[in-house]
Chain A
């Protein structure tokens, strides 16, 4: 059946069942289940999941309880991508010998810690070797499972435990890594950035990814109620604000051509996103307010840049 709306998607999921079940120990209000049920239901073939150490791995498999209803492997923190390479290679070898008969999709899940930082080498190698798998990064902008240490994905101005805001510091004074550009530089056929609140956009991207041969990458924002510091019922609202303020644009790069999927007509000011989170609370002091302007400027510049890239890749044959 063709899935055009979230009602269609819910019908599909009712028919095929869920590959990730309740009983996991996620913080109340965490968005990971929404990402999982959306991405995994986009696969028409059975799915093997490989996971890096992180929030998802730890809370979904506390022995003897596992929330996974599909084959799942975890090795260590560093190697979501290389373990996925191993499973994919074994799959090809065993399929050739007729020991495995099904067609499968292999998905690697890693947090921003296991993808931007400690796992980036493994990711880079796996992408360069062109293994046929999908890598989904659930980006909650820090090492959240261990209590909010900063990562390469933590945004400018955020206070974390290893780079806290204090009397002489505003928290993180570096900009976050642009991992999507790094991944796109590996010349893979499909890279996209998505957000947990926009289920249909995420579903369509996951579908496109699964229909593509070769390595694919999805970077999905996942607000963390515990460590970003907001009440647990606002997860989806914060996620929506991230895109409405252009802090987290939704776009995809298909074979080097960039398309921006959501263009807010009147983008909301970045304060609306920041003021709801206690990790940015210190930026609202008088002496720090100018940093918010710096952030606004960068967000606007980056989004302008994205729109320009969209134009030149669509109209002038430029490839990313």
Chain B
């Protein structure tokens, strides 16, 4: 029933939806990953897939999937069910909460450097 178009950059007043209404989740186009100075380095061999980092990440940058076959993790154990994947660096702001809270130190923050060409 709702039909609200995404906003084109530079739209005129005639082209914008009225009243400032927006369609859902358009923020996915805004990549907050550009903010960071530290990047998390995730070592899957240390991970117990406890999900603490997943819940604590302020930008929900740690995606999860249901893996029935299981993945190898801490102490070579197989973890089935919900598992975490690589951090989504499009959105990770490098806050370091994941590294601070990880019970097995599977995440380490490293200084990220950018090459200015």
Cβ B50 vs Cβ A66 within 8 A:
no
Cβ A232 vs Cβ B95 within 8 A:
yes
Task: Tell me which residues from 52 to 76 in chain A have a Cβ below 8 Å from any Cβ of chain B.
Answer: 60-61, 63-70
| A11 sits at the interface (CB 8 A) | yes
Q: Which residues of B contact A11 (CB under 8 A)?
A: 64, 66, 81-82
A184 smallest CB distance to B (angstroms): 28
Cβ B88 vs Cβ A14 within 8 A:
no
- Report the nearest A residue to B81, measured CB to CB: A11
Cβ A63 vs Cβ B60 within 8 A:
no
Pick from A16-24, A165-173, A207-215 the stretch touching chain B: A16-24
Q: Which residues of B contact A232 (CB under 8 A)?
A: 95-97
CA distance A32 to B36 in the complex (A): 19
Which listed residue (A15, A34, A65, A225) contacts B55, Cβ 8 A?
A: A34
Cβ A28 vs Cβ B35 within 8 A:
yes
Cβ B97 vs Cβ A235 within 8 A:
yes
| B51 sits at the interface (CB 8 A) | yes
Q: Which residues of A contact B88 (CB under 8 A)?
A: 22
- Whether A7 touches B59, Cβ cut-off 8 Å, given contacts A21-B28, A64-B6, is no
- Report the nearest A residue to B52, measured CB to CB: A6
CA distance A24 to B49 in the complex (A): 26
For B, the interface residue count at a CB cutoff of 8 angstroms equals: 45
Cβ A233 vs Cβ B96 within 8 A:
yes
| A299 sits at the interface (CB 8 A) | no
- Whether A69 touches B55, Cβ cut-off 8 Å, given contacts A7-B82, A233-B97, is no
Cβ A28 vs Cβ B93 within 8 A:
yes
- Whether A28 touches B30, Cβ cut-off 8 Å, given contacts A9-B51, A9-B55, A14-B66, is no
| B115 sits at the interface (CB 8 A) | no
B2 smallest CB distance to A (angstroms): 9
Cβ B24 vs Cβ A26 within 8 A:
no
Cβ A33 vs Cβ B100 within 8 A:
no
| A237 sits at the interface (CB 8 A) | yes
B65 smallest CB distance to A (angstroms): 6
- Whether A63 touches B64, Cβ cut-off 8 Å, given contacts A10-B55, A21-B25, is no
Cβ A28 vs Cβ B94 within 8 A:
yes
- The interface bits of chain B over 30-64 (1 if a CB of A lies within 8 angstroms of the residue's CB, else 0) are 11100110000000000001111011111111001
Among A34, A233, A237, max chain B CB count under 10 A is at A233
CA distance A60 to B22 in the complex (A): 12
| B26 sits at the interface (CB 8 A) | yes
Residues of A bordering B, CB below 8 Å? 6-7, 9-11, 13-15, 18, 20-26, 28-34, 37-38, 60-61, 63-70, 199, 225, 231-237
Identify the 8 closest CB pairs spanning chains A and B, nearest first. Answer: A23-B27, A233-B96, A64-B7, A28-B95, A29-B95, A22-B91, A28-B93, A67-B27
